């Protein structure tokens, strides 16, 4: 059987199950919530909660700080779909599996994707706890979710990535942040495979290459979203300074502590942005 044909069938089956459970709700905005940021799901009203394990062909997240639930409901009256818990390449999933939920979002009618993640700060002007709007990324995973035969029904063979992170939505986010009196950095996300954190030498290299934050997620989902014609807005929470910048080791415990501390302002920002979206 043809690989892409199989993928399309799996996308439809997953979407059909979700539609069956969520009824009339037609999500237009999708959110992917990163490490420790699952609390953003508290924003959602009248949520239908689906376990990833119950959705046909959905992978299951295995990382601490990542629940495995899909929520459908409304935020500020707008129909949204939230992924509480995402998939990472380091869990052993291929990039096409990591980005499968984005394909399902497209099938359900999602037009805008908001991705959040926890990331190490490379930029020396950043501090732990800063929120960063992503203006671009460096795909240093060595992988791509679009490798293999292209299904033209999903998108073009060679998708343009010159505005991966929507200028329009970044402007909107800055406006909301300003109104809320919230400082917001803007930077380039470096996506790596992990799961070991970087060495100090790698961080010096990434800084020279133009990276501002570094993490192990987001890139495959954003590539699949752009391939699907979905507009993207991305945020990193600087959960820790990158390796070698402070005289201390990195730990996932610190990552989760920081995201826990930052969540109120993150919640407020995302809420404000969704309110402004059309
Ligand atoms: N994460 C990081 N990934 C790479 N380098 C960092 O400094 C860093 N800080 C946070 C690990 O704690 C999880 O959080 C992100 C990674 O994407 C990973 O999922």
Q: What is the DSSP string of 46-104?
A: EEEEEEGGGSTT-----STT---EEEEEEETTEEEEEEES---GGGT--HHHHTHHHHH
Residue nearest to ligand 1 atom 6, measured at CA: 120
Token pair belonging to 196 = 């070991």
37 lines ligand 1 (CB under 6 A): no
What pLDDT, on a 0 to 100 scale, did the predictor assign at position 36? 66
Catalytic residue among 22, 35, 117, 228: 35
Enter the pTM of the model.
0.95
Protein residue with its CA nearest to atom 19 in ligand 1:
216
Count of Cβ atoms closer than 10 Å to residue 95 Cβ: 23
From 105, 119, 177, 216, active-site residue: 216
Minimum-distance ligand 1 atom for the alpha carbon of 243 = 7
Q: Active site includes 217?
A: yes
Helix (H, G, I), strand (E, B) or coil at 149: coil
Q: Does 2 score more than 50 pLDDT?
A: no
Q: 87-92 — which CB contacts under 8 Å span 24+ positions?
A: 87/59, 87/61, 88/61, 88/63, 88/194, 88/195, 88/216, 88/217, 89/141, 89/143, 89/193, 89/194, 89/216, 89/220, 90/193, 90/194, 90/195, 90/216, 91/61, 91/62, 91/63
Cβ–ligand 1 contact at 88 (below 6 Å): yes
pLDDT digit string, tens, across residues 110-151:
999 999 999 999 999 999 999 999 999 999 999 999 999 999
Residue 81 CA to ligand 1 center (angstroms) comes to 24
Give whole-number Cα distances, 99 to 94, 104, 129, 276, in Å.
Answer: 9, 9, 27, 27
**Portion of the chain with pLDDT greater than 90, in percent:** 83
Tell me the per-residue pLDDT of 36-53, one tens digit each, with 9 for 90 and over.
Answer: 677 677 788 888 999 999
Rounded distance, CA 171 to CA 205, Å? 30
Reported as type and span, the H/E element at residue 234 is: strand 231-241
């Amino acid at each position: 059987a043809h690989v892409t044909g199989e993928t399309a069938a799996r996308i439809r089956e997953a979407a059909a199950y979700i539609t069956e459970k969520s009824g009339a709700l037609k999500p237009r905005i999708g959110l992917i919530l990163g490490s420790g940021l699952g609390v953003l799901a508290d924003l959602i009203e009248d949520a239908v909660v689906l376990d990833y394990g119950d959705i046909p062909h959905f992978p299951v997240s295995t990382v601490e700080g990542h629940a495995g639930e899909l929520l459908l409901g409304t935020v500020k009256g707008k129909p949204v779909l939230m992924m509480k818990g995402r998939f990472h390449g380091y869990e052993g999933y291929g990039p096409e599996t990591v980005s499968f939920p984005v394909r399902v979002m497209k099938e359900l009618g999602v037009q805008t994707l908001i991705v959040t993640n926890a990331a190490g700060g490379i930029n020396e002007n950043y501090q732990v706890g800063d929120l960063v709007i992503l203006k671009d990324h460096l795909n240093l995973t060595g992988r791509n979710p679009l490798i293999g035969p292209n299904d033209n029904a999903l998108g073009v063979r060679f998708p343009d990535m010159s505005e991966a992170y929507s200028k329009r939505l970044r402007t909107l986010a800055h406006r909301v942040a300003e109104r809320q009196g919230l400082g917001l950095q803007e930077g380039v996300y470096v996506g790596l495979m992990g799961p070991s954190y970087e060495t100090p030498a790698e961080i010096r290299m990434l800084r020279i290459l133009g990276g501002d934050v570094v993490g192990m997620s987001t890139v495959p989902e954003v590539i699949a979203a752009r391939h699907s014609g979905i507009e993207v807005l991305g945020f990193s929470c600087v959960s820790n300074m990158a390796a070698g910048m402070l005289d201390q080791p990195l730990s996932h415990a610190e990552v989760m502590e920081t995201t826990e501390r930052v969540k109120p302002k993150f919640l407020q920002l995302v809420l404000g942005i969704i309110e402004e979206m059309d």
